[in-house]
Chains A and B, each alone.
Chain A
Amino acid sequence: GEDVEQSLFLSVREGDSSVINCTYTDSSSTYLYWYKQEPGAGLQLLTYIFSNMDMKQDQRLTVLLNKKDKHLSLRIADTQTGDSAIYFCAEKTSYDKVIFGPGTSLSVIP
């Protein structure tokens, strides 16, 4: 079946790097996404990676994809208090459906 898993909580100190991990099951997924949801707000697309890429970097964000292990990670360098939010990993399946993980709640300690 289709499933996306993430750890539910992560706590880091301000200035450290955060690494949020995600695993998925659909080997035919085409795109993988990271979304950010701040309290009371909608989803914001942070970054995405096409399934034939290994890595994508965008300013403080680095996405790593291990397609063999179906593992995706999001690294946030120099984490700030404004990065506190819930981060959703998602995969787009070959049927054009996007499957979301449960979200990882990131808490940044000043």
Chain B
Amino acid sequence: NAGVMQNPRHLVRRRGQEARLRCSPMKGHSHVYWYRQLPEEGLKFMVYLQKENIIDESGMPKERFSAEFPKEGPSILRIQQVVRGDSAAYFCASSATSGGDRGRQYFGPGTRLTVT
């Protein structure tokens, strides 16, 4: 059973370009979470999605950021018109809908975004 997969692992974008980060949850998981880790800081929650629904986006910046988790395919975190301050590591996690350990989130390796 493959773990949570994220791609690309490293992404370099120029200011003003768009960044698309992908997350494939573990098999059987339908809950996806995105976190951002800025340099020298801890993880910050961004958004929590279930299939085709955004459950909690209280951590998402109001502009330029969006997330989706379609019925088929990976979850996408999209950042439009990137700025230098968006440079960070973006982690995705997934969890199961049911089972004895609903609380356990499994993390992907992260995508390191560098904006030049």
Question: Do A and B originate from a single complex?
Answer: yes
Chain B nearest CB, measured from A90 CB (Å) = 8
Is A88's CB within 8 Å of the partner chain B? yes
- A43-B43, A88-B42, A99-B45 known; A48 and B91 CB under 8 Å? no
Complex: A48 Cα to B110 Cα, angstroms: 21
B44 at the interface (CB under 8 A from A): yes
Q: How many residues of A contact B (CB 8 A)?
A: 22
| Interface residue ranges of B33-61 to A (CB < 8 Å) | 33, 35, 41-45, 48, 55-56, 58
Are B91 and A31 in contact (CB-based, < 8 A)?
Answer: no
The answer to whether A100 touches B43 (Cβ under 8 A) is yes
Q: In the complex the two chains form, what is the Cα distance from A90 to B42 in whole Å?
A: 10
Give the A-B contact count at a CB cut-off of 8 A: 51
Across the interface, do A48 and B42 meet the contact criterion of CB distance under 8 Å? no
Cα separation A48 to B31 with both chains bound (whole Å)? 19
- B30 CB to nearest A CB, Å: 12
Q: Is B103 touching A88 in the complex (CB atoms < 8 A)? A: no
Q: Contacts A48-B103, A103-B42; is A96 near B109 (CB within 8 Å)?
A: no
Residues in B with CB closer than 8 Å to A35 are 107
Taken together as a complex, chains A and B put the C-alpha atoms of A103 and B56 apart, in Å, by 24
Residues of B within 8 A of A (CB): 31, 33, 35, 41-45, 48, 55-56, 58, 91, 93, 103-110
Partner-B contacts on A (CB < 8 A):
30-31, 35, 41-45, 48, 50, 88, 90, 92, 95-103
Given contacts A30-B103, A98-B45, 10 further A-B pairs with CB under 8 A are A41-B109, A42-B91, A44-B107, A45-B106, A48-B103, A98-B33, A100-B43, A100-B45, A101-B42, A102-B41
